[in-house]
Amino acid sequence: MTIQFLSRSTGSFEALASLVAPVSVETFLSDYWERAPLLARRPAETRPLATLAEIDAVLSTERHVHPNLSLVDAAKEVDEDEYVVAEHAVDMARALKRFNQGATFVLNRLDEHLVQVRDLCVKLEAELGLGVQANMYLTPAGSQGFPTHFDSHDVIIIQCVGRKTWRLYDTPRGLPMRGERFDRATTPAGPLSATLETGPGDALYIPRGLMHDALADSSEASLHVTLGFHAVRWSEVVLEAVAQACVDDPALRRGVPFGALHDERAAGLEATLREHLERVIRAVKWAPVHAKLVDDFAQEHRESLGGMLLDAARPAREDSSFAVRAGVVVSVEPTDNGVVLTVNGRSTRWPAHAESTLRRAFERRRFTLADLGEELDVAGRLTLARKLVLEGALRVLSSSEAR
């Protein structure tokens, strides 16, 4: 199966580049990713990823439940009974009262509430091949939401409103495993290593495992969005490779000898274990592991379908221009009976003679029917394009976009 991460058609990580500039993506990946923090400054006039008015609308007009929306305060523990009522619903009036006393609003999955945040996450996911989640943090002036801690995933913090001072500490444990929870009792902070201030538009990268805390400026509330990057660890890849090898090798499916749990009978089994591991190493194959990882990603990858209803309501014409949707993940797989097209995990079958036309549609970011070749007549190309629009793979460009 050939998977095309279409937002990477230029060979660059464009969405990531917009976050780490002026540092290049190459420098970011070689010198900072999983290694060191990076503060990327932005002009003050940069349009914020989210505004206070947008967050006000999300919090005040939508129904929220705990723990998707929660309150935290480093100075005083917040009891959910202070603002959570029946069926885990958040009472916003009560929550706002606690906010005015210094608590921070935490909204998980802001990407499910604001389209521009979702679009950014979808683009990053497709570029990088990993899950990206956006959480919102609204902190009153002069307050601190969380005590010193580390995260088990890498984050890029985008300051939207106000200013925040971030204190970074020598990390006691680098690169924690997925889901490894921070335990304050067993993980004290190391010496203070850096103090950084983020202002509107700035982006701060903090590698997973690096201890940190943050304090909002005393002059105004702070609003920031944290992008969490859920990378696939090599440990997970190794475990998947071992699992695949064990499925294929009968010797690795046999039971250990009777009495192996008794010390006097287990002494000679270490050599057997090493022999089996050597068999695994010889049997490991990248292709099936890669296919499994790609399939898992495609099933979980979200879509950005803004305007899809408008496209369906006003069907494309022969003179229409089309664009591949940002962040879409597509595969075109020839089979004995034709072609299987998979768009973000949804598969449809097409006749074999449509393969080259399908591939042309996804080789460029925008196109007209004339760009799709002549394997299909104009009516056939238009039908194909309309079906791809309805599959969520393409969008129809407006006249101004097509110019």
Lowest mean pLDDT, pick from 72-81, 208-217, 341-350: 341-350
Three-state secondary structure call for residue 367: strand
Tell me the domain boundaries of the chain: 11-230, 234-293, 308-402
Q: Which amino acid is at 146?
A: F
Confidence class for position 305, pLDDT limits 50, 70, 90: confident
Percentage of residues of the chain with pLDDT beyond 90? 67
Let me know if domain 11-230 sits in CATH 2.60.120.650.
Answer: yes
Pull the structure tokens for residue 112: 């499910």
What's the confidence (pLDDT) of residue 264? 67
Lowest mean pLDDT, pick from 55-69, 152-166, 247-261, 274-288: 247-261
Residue with more model confidence, 1 or 196: 196
pLDDT at 11 over 60: no
pLDDT tens digits, one per residue of 192-233: 999 999 999 999 999 999 999 999 999 999 999 999 999 999
Per the CB < 8 A criterion, the answer to whether 65 and 77 are in contact is no
What's the confidence (pLDDT) of residue 111? 95
pLDDT tens digits, one per residue of 109-136: 999 999 999 999 999 998 898 999 999 9
pLDDT at 8 over 60: no
Matching fold, domains 11-230 and 308-402:
no
Q: Identify the CATH number of the domain defined by range 308-402.
A: 3.40.366.30
Q: Render 161-225 in DSSP notation, one character per residue.
A: ES-EEEEEE--SSSSPPTT----TTT-----EEEEEEE-TT-EEEE-TT--EEEEE-TTS-EEEE
Partners of 225 in the beta sheet? Answer: 136, 158
pLDDT tens digits, one per residue of 320-330: 999 999 888 88
Q: Which helix (H) or strand (E) holds 106?
A: strand 104-107
Q: Which helix (H) or strand (E) holds 235?
A: helix 234-248
